[in-house]
Every structure is written in C-alpha cells, then in structure tokens.
C-alpha cells in the first residue's frame, strides 16, 4: 500500500470510530449496525446484523444518555484490506439518577469489504467508571447562548433517539 492509500485508509478507519460514537449517542441503531461486517460474530454462537442489532438494542436500553468522546486512535495496517486498532474513549453516561464518567479502550479489528472499512470486532475494555457528584440532567435549561450552564437540547433533538425510545423492546 503506497503512502497516499495508507493515509486514506487510516482516515476512513478513524471516521468509522467517530461514526460509532455518534450512532451510539444518537441511538441510530441502523447506522451503528451498518458499521460492522455482515457476518459479525456476536457473543459465542450468534452471527450477523440481526443478532448485533438485538444485542445493541438490549445493551443501550440499560443506559440513558451517553456522550462518547473518541481520543487517541492508533491504527496498524496489516495489508490493503485488514487492520487493527486501539481507540481511547471518554464516556459520560446516565445510569438512572446517577451520572457516570468512564475511561474506555477499544481494541478493534477492521476489514475493508467492497471498498469500505468496517468493524470485524470491537472489544470494550474499561479502565474505570466513576460517579460524578452532580447529575447534569437535573440542571435547569441552559438556554444557550444566554446561559452556558444548564441542561441542553441533546439528545432529545435527535429523531433517532426519540424513535429508539418510542419502540417497545
């Protein structure tokens, strides 16, 4: 792979991690599942997008608002169509009335299929999860830009968020 193709591959893979974070936060399950190979292994015995969709639906219903911030992303290209990566991520998450901060590392396997980089596997490793003293969801509306402190309009302004929570599990 020449230098230009390596740069393009790394950028496309970085976008994959960013799209994952946005899809999780906005609860866009269609976009989320579409980031993985169609024969993705889910657990020990399940495969494919339908199984992945069911797994994400179950997992994401157990948590409220999430804010994933993707940081360091090291990508090792193995050949034109295979790569591995390590992604650092900070997460803020609603867990009932609690507000949690997490430091996460993802260990990824990527594959390019039909010219598009996808996740083959994504391992979620946790450094820590810690409750924050004040839950920001209890704050009065910020009404930005007049006031910078308070509750904003996300995630409820995402149509995908509202559709996700309107569906019965």
Please, what is the Cα angle at 116 between 112 and 122, to 5 degrees? 60
Site of tokens 């924050």: 132
Is residue 169's pLDDT more than 80?
Answer: no
Burial (CB < 10 A; 0-12, 13-18, 19+), residue 27, is buried
Domain that holds residue 121: 3-164
44 located within any domain: yes
The whole-model pTM stands at 0.92
Question: Which tens digit of pLDDT belongs to each residue from 20-29?
Answer: 999 999 999 9
User: What confidence category does residue 118 fall into, taking pLDDT thresholds of 50, 70 and 90?
Assistant: very high
The average pLDDT across 139-159 equals: 88
Please check whether residue 82 lies inside any domain of the structure.
yes
169, part of any domain? no
pLDDT, tens only, 66-91: 999 999 999 999 999 999 999 999 99
The rounded mean pLDDT for the chain is 95
- Would strands 82-95 and 98-113 be described as parallel, antiparallel, or unpaired? antiparallel
Number of domains in the chain: 1
Which CATH number does the domain housing residue 114 bear?
3.10.450.50
Asked if residues 38 and 120 have their Cβ atoms less than 8 Å apart, the reply is: no
Instruction: Look at residue 127 and tell me if it is in a domain.
Output: yes
CA distance 64 to 54: 17
Instruction: Indicate the DSSP class of residue 143.
Output: -
């Amino acid at each position: 792979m020449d230098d230009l193709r390596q740069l393009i591959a790394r950028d496309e893979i970085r976008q994959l991690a960013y799209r994952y974070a946005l899809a999780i936060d906005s609860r866009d399950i269609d976009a989320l599942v579409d980031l993985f190979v169609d024969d993705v292994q889910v657990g020990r015995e399940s495969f494919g997008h339908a199984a992945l969709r069911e797994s994400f639906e179950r997992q994401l219903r157990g948590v409220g608002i999430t804010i994933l911030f993707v940081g360091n992303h090291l990508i090792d290209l193995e050949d034109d169509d295979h790569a591995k990566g390590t992604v650092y991520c900070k997460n803020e998450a609603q867990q009932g009335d609690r507000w949690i901060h997490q430091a996460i590392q993802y260990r990824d396997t990527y594959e390019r299929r039909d010219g598009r980089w996808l996740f083959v596997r994504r391992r979620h490793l946790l450094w820590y999860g810690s409750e924050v003293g004040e839950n920001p969801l209890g704050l009065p509306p910020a009404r930005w830009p007049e006031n910078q402190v308070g509750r904003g309009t996300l995630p409820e302004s995402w149509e995908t968020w509202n559709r996700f929570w309107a569906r019965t599990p």
